Amino acid sequence: MDKEKIEKGIRMVLEAVGANLKVKDIAATPKRVAQMYEEILSGQFKDASKELEIILEQEHDEIILVKDIPLYSLCEHHLLPFFGKAHVAYIPDKRITGLSKIARAVDTLSKRLQVQERLTTEIADVIMKKLKPKGVMVVIEAEHLCMSMRGAKKAGTVTNTSVVRGVFRSNSKTRQEALSLIAF
Protein backbone atom coordinates (compact mmCIF):
# COMPACT_ATOMS: atom_id res chain seq x y z
CA MET A 1 0.00 0.00 0.00
CA ASP A 2 1.40 3.38 -0.99
CA LYS A 3 0.87 5.45 2.17
CA GLU A 4 2.69 8.48 0.76
CA LYS A 5 0.27 8.64 -2.16
CA ILE A 6 -2.69 8.31 0.22
CA GLU A 7 -1.34 11.16 2.37
CA LYS A 8 -0.92 13.36 -0.70
CA GLY A 9 -4.46 12.56 -1.86
CA ILE A 10 -5.99 13.27 1.56
CA ARG A 11 -4.08 16.55 1.75
CA MET A 12 -5.64 17.50 -1.60
CA VAL A 13 -9.14 16.53 -0.40
CA LEU A 14 -8.73 18.57 2.78
CA GLU A 15 -7.56 21.57 0.78
CA ALA A 16 -10.47 21.14 -1.64
CA VAL A 17 -13.05 21.21 1.18
CA GLY A 18 -11.44 24.29 2.72
CA ALA A 19 -9.75 22.72 5.75
CA ASN A 20 -6.90 24.69 7.28
CA LEU A 21 -3.88 22.37 7.07
CA LYS A 22 -1.94 24.70 9.37
CA VAL A 23 -4.13 23.69 12.33
CA LYS A 24 -2.06 21.16 14.29
CA ASP A 25 -4.70 18.41 14.49
CA ILE A 26 -5.69 18.74 10.84
CA ALA A 27 -2.05 18.84 9.69
CA ALA A 28 -1.59 15.27 11.00
CA THR A 29 -4.83 13.99 9.42
CA PRO A 30 -3.31 12.81 6.10
CA LYS A 31 -0.84 10.58 7.94
CA ARG A 32 -3.53 9.22 10.28
CA VAL A 33 -5.85 8.47 7.35
CA ALA A 34 -3.07 6.64 5.50
CA GLN A 35 -2.40 4.52 8.61
CA MET A 36 -6.13 3.87 8.98
CA TYR A 37 -6.47 2.69 5.36
CA GLU A 38 -3.47 0.40 5.82
CA GLU A 39 -5.25 -1.19 8.79
CA ILE A 40 -8.85 -1.37 7.57
CA LEU A 41 -7.89 -2.52 4.07
CA SER A 42 -5.29 -5.04 5.27
CA GLY A 43 -7.18 -7.94 3.67
CA GLN A 44 -6.88 -6.42 0.19
CA PHE A 45 -4.09 -8.74 -0.91
CA LYS A 46 -4.43 -11.61 1.57
CA ASP A 47 -5.63 -15.10 0.74
CA ALA A 48 -8.56 -15.74 3.10
CA SER A 49 -8.39 -19.50 2.47
CA LYS A 50 -5.15 -19.59 4.48
CA GLU A 51 -7.24 -18.74 7.54
CA LEU A 52 -9.28 -21.94 7.15
CA GLU A 53 -6.81 -24.45 8.48
CA ILE A 54 -8.28 -27.96 8.52
CA ILE A 55 -7.99 -29.12 12.11
CA LEU A 56 -10.00 -32.31 12.01
CA GLU A 57 -10.97 -34.98 9.53
CA GLN A 58 -13.89 -36.91 10.92
CA GLU A 59 -17.44 -37.94 10.15
CA HIS A 60 -19.78 -35.12 11.11
CA ASP A 61 -22.75 -34.39 8.91
CA GLU A 62 -24.66 -31.85 10.95
CA ILE A 63 -24.76 -28.08 10.71
CA ILE A 64 -21.91 -26.10 12.23
CA LEU A 65 -22.97 -22.46 12.64
CA VAL A 66 -20.88 -19.51 13.71
CA LYS A 67 -23.25 -16.58 14.05
CA ASP A 68 -23.07 -12.92 14.96
CA ILE A 69 -19.51 -12.51 13.66
CA PRO A 70 -18.91 -8.73 13.77
CA LEU A 71 -17.71 -7.25 10.50
CA TYR A 72 -16.60 -3.85 9.32
CA SER A 73 -15.87 -3.04 5.71
CA LEU A 74 -15.43 -0.09 3.40
CA CYS A 75 -17.91 0.42 0.57
CA GLU A 76 -16.08 0.76 -2.71
CA HIS A 77 -18.72 3.14 -4.07
CA HIS A 78 -18.43 5.97 -1.51
CA LEU A 79 -15.49 4.91 0.69
CA LEU A 80 -17.82 4.91 3.69
CA PRO A 81 -18.02 2.04 6.17
CA PHE A 82 -20.64 -0.62 6.38
CA PHE A 83 -20.84 -2.76 9.47
CA GLY A 84 -22.89 -5.58 10.87
CA LYS A 85 -22.63 -9.28 11.44
CA ALA A 86 -22.13 -12.43 9.44
CA HIS A 87 -23.66 -15.83 10.09
CA VAL A 88 -21.78 -18.74 8.53
CA ALA A 89 -23.14 -22.30 8.49
CA TYR A 90 -21.63 -25.34 6.86
CA ILE A 91 -22.10 -29.10 6.85
CA PRO A 92 -18.70 -30.78 6.72
CA ASP A 93 -17.74 -33.64 4.48
CA LYS A 94 -14.88 -34.85 6.69
CA ARG A 95 -12.99 -31.50 6.87
CA ILE A 96 -13.64 -29.30 9.91
CA THR A 97 -11.93 -26.03 10.72
CA GLY A 98 -11.68 -24.15 13.98
CA LEU A 99 -14.57 -21.84 14.77
CA SER A 100 -12.23 -18.86 15.09
CA LYS A 101 -10.85 -19.66 11.63
CA ILE A 102 -14.24 -18.88 10.09
CA ALA A 103 -14.33 -15.53 11.90
CA ARG A 104 -10.80 -14.78 10.67
CA ALA A 105 -11.75 -15.56 7.07
CA VAL A 106 -14.73 -13.18 7.39
CA ASP A 107 -12.40 -10.53 8.81
CA THR A 108 -9.84 -10.92 6.01
CA LEU A 109 -12.46 -10.68 3.28
CA SER A 110 -14.20 -7.71 4.88
CA LYS A 111 -10.93 -5.74 5.13
CA ARG A 112 -11.08 -4.84 1.46
CA LEU A 113 -12.89 -2.32 -0.65
CA GLN A 114 -16.16 -4.24 -0.86
CA VAL A 115 -19.82 -4.42 -1.59
CA GLN A 116 -21.91 -6.54 0.74
CA GLU A 117 -23.20 -8.79 -2.02
CA ARG A 118 -19.70 -9.77 -3.16
CA LEU A 119 -18.47 -10.17 0.42
CA THR A 120 -21.26 -12.67 1.12
CA THR A 121 -20.36 -14.64 -2.01
CA GLU A 122 -16.62 -14.56 -1.31
CA ILE A 123 -17.09 -15.99 2.18
CA ALA A 124 -19.20 -18.86 0.84
CA ASP A 125 -16.81 -19.53 -2.04
CA VAL A 126 -13.67 -19.64 0.09
CA ILE A 127 -15.29 -22.12 2.50
CA MET A 128 -16.55 -24.31 -0.36
CA LYS A 129 -13.13 -24.31 -2.02
CA LYS A 130 -11.03 -24.96 1.09
CA LEU A 131 -13.23 -27.23 3.21
CA LYS A 132 -15.24 -28.88 0.42
CA PRO A 133 -18.30 -29.20 2.67
CA LYS A 134 -21.65 -30.71 1.72
CA GLY A 135 -22.99 -27.18 1.81
CA VAL A 136 -22.47 -23.67 3.09
CA MET A 137 -24.79 -20.79 3.92
CA VAL A 138 -23.70 -17.22 4.61
CA VAL A 139 -26.04 -14.47 5.76
CA ILE A 140 -24.84 -10.92 6.35
CA GLU A 141 -26.85 -8.15 8.03
CA ALA A 142 -25.24 -4.71 7.73
CA GLU A 143 -25.88 -1.00 7.96
CA HIS A 144 -24.28 1.13 5.26
CA LEU A 145 -23.21 4.63 6.24
CA CYS A 146 -23.52 5.71 2.60
CA MET A 147 -27.27 5.13 3.03
CA SER A 148 -27.46 6.40 6.62
CA MET A 149 -25.45 9.64 6.28
CA ARG A 150 -26.12 10.71 2.69
CA GLY A 151 -28.47 9.94 -0.17
CA ALA A 152 -31.57 8.36 1.37
CA LYS A 153 -30.45 9.37 4.89
CA LYS A 154 -32.17 6.38 6.49
CA ALA A 155 -30.05 5.63 9.57
CA GLY A 156 -30.64 2.21 11.09
CA THR A 157 -31.66 0.59 7.81
CA VAL A 158 -30.20 -2.89 7.58
CA THR A 159 -29.41 -4.78 4.37
CA ASN A 160 -29.49 -8.59 4.41
CA THR A 161 -27.71 -10.74 1.86
CA SER A 162 -27.44 -14.50 1.68
CA VAL A 163 -25.61 -17.11 -0.32
CA VAL A 164 -26.40 -20.81 -0.25
CA ARG A 165 -24.32 -23.59 -1.76
CA GLY A 166 -24.60 -27.36 -1.91
CA VAL A 167 -27.17 -29.03 0.33
CA PHE A 168 -28.41 -25.67 1.64
CA ARG A 169 -29.47 -24.83 -1.92
CA SER A 170 -30.85 -28.23 -2.89
CA ASN A 171 -32.64 -29.13 0.36
CA SER A 172 -35.17 -26.60 1.64
CA LYS A 173 -35.48 -28.33 5.03
CA THR A 174 -31.73 -28.04 5.64
CA ARG A 175 -31.80 -24.40 4.55
CA GLN A 176 -34.77 -23.71 6.85
CA GLU A 177 -33.03 -25.42 9.80
CA ALA A 178 -29.98 -23.17 9.34
CA LEU A 179 -32.14 -20.06 9.05
CA SER A 180 -34.01 -20.97 12.25
CA LEU A 181 -30.69 -21.47 14.07
CA ILE A 182 -29.57 -18.02 12.90
CA ALA A 183 -32.83 -16.47 14.12
CA PHE A 184 -32.69 -18.32 17.46
The set of catalytic residues is 75-78, 116, 144, 146
The answer to whether 115 and 86 have CB atoms below 8 angstroms apart is no
User: Helix H segments across 41-113?
Assistant: 99-110
Alpha carbon distance 29, 15 (integer Å):
12
What is the DSSP code (8-state) at residue 150? S
DSSP-derived 3-state class of residue 80: coil
DSSP-derived 3-state class of residue 159: strand
CA dihedral 142, 148, 152, 157 (to 10 degrees): 40
